[in-house]
Homo-oligomer: A and B are copies of this chain.
Amino acid sequence: MRKEPVYSADFDFLPGHPAGVCLPQGFIAGAVYCGLKTYGEGKLDLGILVSSVPASVAGVFTTNLVRAAPVLWDEAVVQRGQAQAVIYNAGIANACTGAQGLADTREMATLTADKLGLSPELVLVTSTGVIGHLLPMHKIQQGVAALELVEGETAGLTASFCIMTTDTRPKRCVARLQLGGKQVLIGGMCKGAGMIHPNMATMLCYLTTDAAATPEFLQAIIRELVQESFNAITVDGDTSTNDSVLALANGLAGNPTLGQAASAEDELKFKEALRAVMVYLAKEIARDGEGATKLIEIWVRGAASKEEAHLVARTAAGSNLTKAAIFGSDPNWGRVIAAAGRSGAKFAPEKVDIYFGEIPLMLAGVPQPFEKAEAQEALKGPTVYITLDLHAGEDDALAWGCDLTQEYVVINSEYET
């Protein structure tokens, strides 16, 4: 069994579109290698994304008590509601770096602002990489100076590579829709492969749109949609100090402003398209989890509340034992029910059904006979579908994780992230 995605509005969805965040009108970007990625000599590691006009900005940040300098900076930008550029680097997270770290973030914003002729208050900053190291600011200065802004596919493509750390591939997409007779584009890109867990992680997501929207509207829907996208994925249970989802809406599409003059129908349509973008990007992160060979989709049905459905789905998706079993294509459903049992959700174990793919392995709490070879087959694809029906209510939720492999251990015992 699997939940088919349902969207209550029409839009086009373009997964992997190379232009990504630079397809919406007015967004351009540039990237350079400035020497921060010590493990990937010559790989792009510093970039800037710019809107030709100031944009409404929204953001959601890590729930970790330990927050990196750029997170503190960006929260203030988001509070003011307007931004026009983002500077990002990969290789060093600028987390646990004290007062010097804050000064370095401010300098990154200032360097960008000076280059573009903006106020630093309009510049967002994100950093990802190893914790506890100071940024070599002379390299960043040289990088910003050298950086050339381009448009379209080159811009979107290089941006999506530039933000990668242990990611094996870039993650990009675009949604296209009509609002009030105008074409609106939403572009997105993200990075993240380790330190990924519900409630965000070393996860950075950048969303651009040429829609006109108030910052309040944007903030409200980003916050809501994060729950079912970036807060519904897990790679390793470790959350990070730097997580950020940032959205910029520059209004160049000329649609009636969302949150102000737009119809309720248009607002719904925009939200549904943004949902598709965010869920796609979140799943791409889980699928590209460090060392992963499979995406695991957990669908919890019949929960007493939406919260409990999420809780069970996320706990099951995050269980090391379940993840290792899936890697070995072992239909070990006992580990799934044990994970559900420790999730904190209330249900009657004797009512629960569990399916791996289409195969019922437990019905009403009773183990079902099954062909092991057939069940193993269901676990061999690039996406594994596991369904739990708790029979405790009407709510459901999805969560995504990945399998746990020897490669995860190799990556994380040898590479200082």
Interfacial residues, chain A to chain B (CB-CB below 8 A): 63-67, 93, 95-98, 130-134, 194-195, 197, 199, 236-241, 318-322, 324-325, 327-328, 330, 332-335, 337-343, 345-347, 349-350, 361-362, 365-367, 404-406, 408-414, 416-417
Task: Report copies per complex.
Answer: 2
Contact between chains at B328 and A413 (CB < 8 Å): yes
- Besides A195-B338, A327-B413, A330-B413, 18 more A-B contacts (Cβ < 8 Å) are A63-B342, A65-B347, A66-B341, A96-B337, A97-B367, A132-B334, A195-B321, A237-B319, A238-B320, A238-B335, A239-B338, A241-B338, A320-B408, A321-B417, A404-B413, A406-B406, A406-B409, A406-B410
A397 to B383, CA, bound (A): 41
> Within the assembled complex, what's the spacing in Å between the Cα atoms of A238 and B332?
14
Minimum CB–CB distance from A369 to chain B (whole Å) comes to 11
CA distance A369 to B66 in the complex (A): 20
Selected contact of A350 from candidates B98, B361, B367, CB within 8 Å = B98
A66 to B388 CA separation, bound complex (whole angstroms): 14
| A414 in contact with B337 (CB, 8 Å) | no
B413, A338: Cβ atoms closer than 8 Å: no
Quick check: A131 and B195 within 8 Å, CB to CB? no
Name the residue on B nearest A368 (C-beta): B132
Which residue in B96, B237, B410 is a CB contact (below 8 Å) of A365? Answer: B96
Known contacts A63-B342, A132-B367, A320-B238: does B334 contact A95 (CB below 8 Å)?
yes
A240: B residues at CB distance < 8 A: 338
Query: Could you tell me if A342 and B409 are in contact, using CB atoms closer than 8 angstroms?
Result: no
Residue of B nearest to A95 (CB): B334
Rounded to whole angstroms, the CA-CA distance of A197 and B338 in the bound complex is 12
Is the CB–CB distance between A238 and B342 below 8 Å?
yes
Query: Judging by beta carbons under 8 Å apart, are B416 and A338 in contact?
Result: no
A365 partner residues in chain B, CB cutoff 8 A = 96, 98
Q: Which residues of chain B are near A63, meaning CB under 8 Å? A: 342
Q: Is B66 a contact of A338 with CB atoms below 8 Å?
A: yes
> Which of B96, B322, B339 meets A367, CB within 8 Å?
B96
Residue of B nearest to A318 (CB): B237
Closest B residue to A404 by beta carbon equals B409
Q: Assess the A334–B238 pair: CB atoms within 8 A.
A: no
Cα–Cα distance between A241 and B411 once the two chains are bound (Å): 32
In the bound complex, CA of A97 to CA of B350 (Å)? 9
Question: Which residue of B has the minimal Cβ distance to A350?
Answer: B98
Contact B409 A349 (CB under 8 A): no
Given contacts A95-B334, A341-B64, contact A321 B131 (CB under 8 A): no
In the bound complex, how far is the Cα of B199 from the Cα of A318, in angstroms?
A: 17
Q: Specify which chain B residues have a CB less than 8 angstroms from the CB of A64 in the assembled complex.
A: 338, 341-342
Partner of A96, one of B318, B321, B322, B334: B334
* Chain B residues whose CB sits within 8 angstroms of the CB of A349 once the complex forms: 65-67, 96
